[in-house]
């Protein structure tokens, strides 16, 4: 089976590439290395076909030849940047997805990485299930949602079998400290350098942190089903709690500095994963303490 992973040189994509190789897939990676790094794929060099190109490229025939399954993870993932450059964000996330869909019409399956933290907006209730209204409060949320709509449209019009995965805040080894949910990566990196942790607002804002191997597992399970699925833990953790856990895990007392709150970010969120549990057999396994300990160890 030949699988294409767009964004395969990125944080989640590179873990997915490894998991696919482990399961015997032939893997093709399409990544323009805008935020991804070739080093993320160092462990699989020689075992994948790598194309340094954009998902916006007019002709992707040479990339898509023989591809049976598409995992579309390439995206502009930075919420801040989406606020500053909304047109660029829209171009990569919506037009890029449309361009890929148009050229990948012959693929058997299309798996789209969406964002549960961004497409719902400020939750009306918690945990947020897939039926919750989608009212993004950032250009990033709007562009990821637009991508979802095109995926569904291509399913309807051309029969592409798809799954849309709305990931919670993913963390793990190799996460770039500039990413969407980079707070754990950023905090651990700053701690390693002896720098204070910067908390925006009160620190009472919550997120649903899910470990990367759990997300990769869910993404593979989604090959068997169609539909829209939240992928998270269902657990809300505040930034202040995160600082406490990091302090315990690392055996340090981090200095914390508070900054004004940032726009485009929801106050609280956690995702209901009942549907993914029932239909995909998904359940997050790695607890936050354990996951943070693993990332901390990986930093040396
Ligand atoms: N990290 C999270 O917490 C999180 C949460 C929800 C959803 N997601 C989604 O998961 C996916 C992967 O995110 P990530 O955290 O691994 O980010 P990442 O930045 O590490 O990976 C994105 C990859 O896409 C590549 N890319 C960007 N623009 C491209 C283009 N025009 N053409 C080809 N490649 C391009 C980048 O070089 C990078 O390797 C994204 O679709 C993101 O929206 C991530």
Residue 201 token pair: 């607002």
Q: How far does residue 89's CA lie from ligand 1's centre (Å)?
A: 12
Confirm or reject: Cβ of 11 under 6 Å from ligand 1: yes
Q: How far does residue 119's CA lie from ligand 1's centre (Å)?
A: 15
Distance of CA 36 to the CA centre of its chain: 13
H helices, E strands: number in the chain = 12, 13
How far apart CA 39 and CA 281 sit, in angstroms, is: 33
Confirm or reject: Cβ of 177 under 6 Å from ligand 1: no
Confirm or reject: Cβ of 75 under 6 Å from ligand 1: yes
Q: How far does residue 179's CA lie from ligand 1's centre (Å)?
A: 8
C-alpha triplet 275, 278, 280: angle, nearest 5°:
85
- Tokens 């919506």 label which residue? 94
CATH fold match for the domains 2-168+209-232 and 171-206+236-269+286-298: no
Confirm or reject: Cβ of 56 under 6 Å from ligand 1: yes
pLDDT digits (tens, 9 = 90+) for 38-50: 999 999 999 999 9
> Which of 50-64, 261-275, 282-296 shows the lowest per-residue confidence on average (mean pLDDT)?
261-275
Helix (H, G, I), strand (E, B) or coil at 111: strand
Return the ligand 1 atom nearest residue 112 CA: 41
pLDDT digits (tens, 9 = 90+) for 32-85: 999 999 999 999 999 999 999 999 999 999 999 999 999 999 999 999 899 999
Quick one: which of 178, 198, 186, 180 has its CA closest to 37?
178
The structural domains of the chain, with segments of one domain joined by +, span 2-168+209-232, 171-206+236-269+286-298
pLDDT digits (tens, 9 = 90+) for 180-222: 558 999 999 999 999 999 999 999 999 999 999 999 999 999 9
Q: How confident is the model at residue 118 (pLDDT cuts 50, 70, 90)?
A: very high
Query: Does pTM surpass 0.95?
Result: yes
Q: How confident is the model at residue 178 (pLDDT cuts 50, 70, 90)?
A: low
Q: In this predicted structure, what is the pLDDT of residue 179?
A: 53
Q: What is the mean pLDDT of the chain?
A: 96
Q: Decide which of 3.30.590.20, 2.40.160.20, 3.90.25.10, 3.90.870.20 is the CATH code for 171-206+236-269+286-298.
A: 3.90.25.10
CA atoms within 13 A of residue 42's CA, in its CB half-sphere: 4
Residues serving a catalytic function are 140
Q: How confident is the model at residue 255 (pLDDT cuts 50, 70, 90)?
A: very high
What stretches of the chain show up as alpha helix (H) in DSSP? 11-22, 61-64, 79-84, 86-90, 96-103, 116-119, 139-158, 183-192, 212-221, 239-250, 274-275, 288-298
Residue 129, pLDDT above cutoff 70? yes
Confirm or reject: Cβ of 219 under 6 Å from ligand 1: no
User: Which uninterrupted H or E stretch holds 203?
Assistant: none
Residue 264, pLDDT above cutoff 80? no
Return the ligand 1 atom nearest residue 56 CA: 31
Question: Given ligand 1 and candidates 6, 16, 18, 36, which is best to mutate, with the most ligand atoms within 8 Å of its CB?
Answer: 36
What kind of fold does domain 2-168+209-232 have according to CATH? Rossmann fold (3.40.50)
């Amino acid at each position: 089976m030949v699988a294409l992973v767009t964004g395969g040189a990125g944080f989640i994509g590179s873990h997915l590439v490894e998991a696919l190789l482990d399961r015997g897939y032939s893997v093709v990676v399409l990544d323009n290395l805008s935020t991804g790094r070739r080093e993320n794929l160092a462990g699989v060099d020689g075992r994948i076909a790598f194309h340094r190109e954009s998902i916006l490229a007019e002709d992707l025939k040479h990339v898509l030849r023989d591809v049976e399954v598409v995992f579309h993870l390439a995206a502009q993932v930075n919420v801040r940047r989406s606020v500053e450059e909304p047109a660029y964000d829209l171009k990569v996330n919506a037009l890029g997805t449309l361009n890929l869909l148009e050229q990948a019409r012959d693929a058997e399956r299309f798996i789209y990485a969406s964002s549960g933290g961004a497409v719902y907006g400020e939750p009306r209730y918690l945990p947020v299930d897939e039926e919750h209204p989608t009212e993004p409060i950032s250009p990033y949320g709007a562009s990821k949602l637009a991508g979802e709509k095109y995926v569904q449209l291509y399913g309807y019009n051309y029969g592409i079998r798809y799954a849309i995965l709305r990931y919670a805040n993913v963390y793990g080894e190799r996460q770039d400290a500039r990413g969407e949910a980079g707070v754990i990566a950023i905090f651990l990196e700053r701690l390693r350098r002896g720098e204070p942790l910067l908390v925006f607002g009160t620190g009472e804002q919550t997120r649903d942190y899910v470990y990367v191997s759990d997300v990769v597992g869910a993404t593979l399970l989604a090959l068997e089903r169609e539909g829209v699925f939240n992928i998270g833990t269902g657990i809300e953790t505040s930034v202040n709690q995160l600082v406490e856990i990091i302090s315990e895990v690392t055996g340090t007392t981090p200095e914390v500095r508070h900054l004004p709150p940032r726009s485009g970010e929801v106050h609280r969120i956690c995702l209901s994963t009942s549907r993914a549990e029932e239909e995909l057999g998904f359940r997050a396994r790695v607890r936050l303490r354990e996951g943070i300990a693993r990332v901390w160890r990986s930093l040396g």
